[in-house]
């Protein structure tokens, strides 16, 4: 696997973790301020994940799938 492939999996995993932590915090009646911060962090991490995935797709389109060169 290439670096960008691994980074894309990590980025998506971070988004999922932050999402579930935020949902868990809301479901148990935790601090609204903490939920708000977690959801803002989720949006930021989603943006980063989208950039990583789009970069990966760009390089795949340009060079072909990994291992075909």
Q: Return the DSSP state at 65.
A: S
How far apart CA 51 and CA 25 sit, in angstroms, is 28
Those residues whose C-beta lies under 8 Å from the C-beta of residue 21, and which sit 6 or more positions away, are 38
Q: Return the DSSP state at 26.
A: H
How far apart CA 60 and CA 37 sit, in angstroms, is 35
- pLDDT tens track of the chain, all 69 residues? 589 899 999 999 999 999 999 999 999 998 889 989 999 999 999 999 999 999 999 988 888 776 665
Q: By C-alpha distance, which of 26, 54, 58, 59 is closest to 42?
A: 26
Domain ranges of the chain: 3-63
């Amino acid at each position: 696997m290439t670096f960008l492939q691994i980074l894309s999996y990590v980025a998506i995993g971070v988004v999922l973790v932050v999402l579930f932590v935020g949902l868990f915090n809301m479901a148990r009646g935790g601090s609204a301020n903490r939920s708000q911060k977690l959801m803002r962090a989720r949006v930021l991490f989603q943006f980063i994940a989208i950039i990583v995935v789009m970069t990966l797709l760009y390089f795949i389109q340009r060079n072909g799938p990994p291992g075909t060169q």
